[in-house]
Amino acid sequence: MIGRLLRFSLFGESHGRSVGVQIDGVPPGIKIEEKKIMTELERRKGIPELSTKRKETDRPEFLSGVFKGYTTGGPVVAIAKNKDVDSSYYEKIRNIPRPGHSDYSAYMKYFGFNDYRGGGMFSGRLTFGIVVAGYFAREILAKAGIRVKAYAKSIGNIKTERLSLKDVFESNNPYCPDDLAYNQMLELIKKTKDEGDSVGGIVESIALDVPPGLGGFFEDDLEANLSKAFFMIPAVKGVEFGLGFKASELKGSEANDPFAFNKGKVVTKTNNCGGILGGISDGMPIIARVAFKPTSSIFKEQDSVDLQAGKDVKLNLKGRFDPCIVPKAIPVVEAMMSFSLADSYLRWLSWKEFKNLERK
pLDDT of res. 57: 84
Which range among 50-54, 185-189, 229-233, 319-323 shows the weakest confidence by mean pLDDT? 50-54
Residue 235 · residue 293 · CB < 8 Å: yes
**Does some domain include residue 126?**
yes
**Does some domain include residue 257?**
yes
Confidence label for 360 from pLDDT (cuts 50, 70 and 90): low
User: What percent of the chain stands above pLDDT 70?
Assistant: 99
**Residue 306's CATH number:** 3.60.150.10
Distance from C-alpha of 167 to C-alpha of 154, rounded to nearest angstrom: 16
pLDDT of res. 318: 86
Confidence label for 320 from pLDDT (cuts 50, 70 and 90): confident
**Does some domain include residue 108?**
yes
**Does some domain include residue 2?**
no
Given strand 76-81, what is the order of strands in its sheet? 7-12, 18-24, 76-81, 61-64
Rounded to the nearest integer, the mean pLDDT of the chain is 95
**Does some domain include residue 1?**
no
Overall domain count for the chain: 1
pLDDT at 177 > cutoff 80: yes
Give the pLDDT confidence of 223-249 residue by residue, as tens digits.
999 999 999 999 999 999 999 999 999
pLDDT of res. 2: 84
Give the pLDDT confidence of 51-90 residue by residue, as tens digits.
776 778 899 999 999 999 999 999 999 999 998 788 888 9
Exposed, middle or buried: residue 229 (CB in 10 Å: 0-12, 13-18, 19+)? buried
Give the pLDDT confidence of 135-145 residue by residue, as tens digits.
999 999 999 99
pLDDT of res. 32: 97
Give the pLDDT confidence of 256-294 residue by residue, as tens digits.
999 999 999 999 999 999 999 999 999 999 999 999 999
Give pTM, 2 decimals: 0.95
pLDDT of res. 87: 86
Distance from C-alpha of 87 to C-alpha of 90, rounded to nearest angstrom: 5
**Does some domain include residue 49?**
yes
pLDDT of res. 1: 73
pLDDT of res. 279: 98
What's the domain range around 81? 7-359
**Does some domain include residue 175?**
yes
| Phi, psi dihedral angles at 302 (to 5 degrees) | -135, 155
